[in-house]
Structure 1
Amino acid sequence: MTLYYSLVFLILVTEMVIFMSLIVPLPFTWRRKLFTFISESPLVAKLQYGMKITFIFILILFIDSVNRVYRVQVELAAAAESPAGRGGAAVLGGSERMEVQARKFYSQRNMYLCGFTLFLSLILNRTYVMILDVLRLEEENKRLKGDPAAKGKDAAALGNAGDPGEIGRLKKELAARERDLEALKNQTASQQREYNRMGDQISPADSMPKKDR
């Protein structure tokens, strides 16, 4: 195996290890901290950018390996259609046959290696996105259930809204506010009546000098 295909195999093993680490069941807090670190770390972002370039080269190797497999198949088909290959006899003989079979084996191996590496990279990317969505939904679910660990006043308010007894408490608060509003209306009306009464008392006193004049 050449150096670059050895590197592709190493990347494939690394992807398998990462995939296993992603699907390992972990506590919600640990998993949230881990994915928060992955999402916010600049080193991980640079590594992801470098891996994208690496996968472009792996795609080129995959296309080259598919081309080699196709050429070997064409060569074997041409040899089978030759006069020496008619009648079910051996298509190629001796070392030449072994050399063609070896090239076919290596070409197929390289094609499968690059193909599985690319395919697993897509699976890893999709799994990572799905786990982020699950974490976000779990966090939202905890906030709606009133988890004390939820951050922010709004999150706490949303969490209390999911409590079954919260509706009754809100109704009591609404009734208390309605009573306060009614008391405020009565107080305003009483003050208005008192203001009108004092106005009626002051008006005759103000009108007396006008009559004397």
Structure 2
Amino acid sequence: MSIYYKLVFGVLVTEIVMFSILALPLPTKIRKPLTLMLIRPFLNDVIQVAIKCMLAFVALLFVDSVNRLYTVQQELEAVNPASSFSGNRMEVLSRKFFAQRNMYLTGITLFLTFVVVRTFNLVRELLQLKDRYQMASPDYDTSGEEKRNAELKKELEAQIAERDAEIQRLQEKAAALEKEI
């Protein structure tokens, strides 16, 4: 396998990993930071241009592999079928195998690129809709802060009421002691 097909295979493995991460049924608390972490590098303009160039290169390799497969198929039909186990026929069959392998490798890489982009957009849209829904719902609390603030207010009011009751009791006791004196 030549170096550029090894690079295409690396891209394919990376896309498989990204798609697997995006397709996992994770809770929103984990999925949102993970999705934001995955998108952060792709927001850079230089990286976007590099990705587009890489996709164009893979598309060219796909077209080349389809063309090569067609050429090898024509050669295979031209080889004398009577000598089915000749060295020439085996060599042509071998080239056909490599041409098919390269075509499938580049084709699935292009296909998975579009699938990953679409899946990522769906996940991002889902997270945005969840955020809008949570903000619109009346029992929305910003990561538990409002709930904690309400609990602290209740605790503070209880302490104030307790302190006022203690002050009232001490004032009554002081008034009783004044009457005795």
Q: C-alpha separation between the residues in 1 aligned to 2:76 and 2:112?
A: 31
Runs of 5+ unmatched residues, structure 2: 144-181
Deviation per residue, 1:169-201 (Å, 9 max, x gap): xxxxxxxxxxxxxxxxxxxxxxxxxxxxxxxxx
Contact 1:8 1:114 in 2 (8 A): yes
- Name the amino acid aligned to 1:29: K
Q: Secondary structure, in 3 states, of the residue corresponding to 2:108?
A: helix
**TM-score normalised by length of structure 1:** 0.60
Q: Give how far 1:145 is off.
A: 1.4
- Name the amino acid aligned to 1:24: L
Give the 4+ runs in structure 1 shifted more than 4 A.
Answer: none
- Equivalent residue in structure 2 for 1:149, among 137, 142, 153: 142
- Name the amino acid aligned to 2:92: V
Q: Secondary structure, in 3 states, of the residue corresponding to 1:53?
A: helix
Q: Across the two proteins, how many residue pairs are aligned to each other? A: 141
Change (3 A) 1:108 1:43: closer
Structure 1 vs Structure 2 CA RMSD = 2.0
**TM-score normalised by length of structure 2:** 0.70
Larger Rg: 1
Q: Secondary structure, in 3 states, of the residue corresponding to 1:148?
A: coil
Q: C-alpha separation between the residues in 1 aligned to 2:123 and 2:43?
A: 17
Partner residue of 1:9?
9
Q: Give how far 1:28 is off.
A: 1.1
% identical equivalent positions: 41
Deviation per residue, 1:12-52 (Å, 9 max, x gap): 1111011111112222133223333445x366524333122
Partner residue of 2:24?
24
- Equivalent residue in structure 1 for 2:88, among 83, 92, 96: 96
Mapping 1:10-159, distance limit 5 Å: 10-39=10-39, 41=40, 44-45=43-44, 46-79=46-79, 84-85=80-81, 89-90=82-83, 93-146=85-138, 147-149=140-142
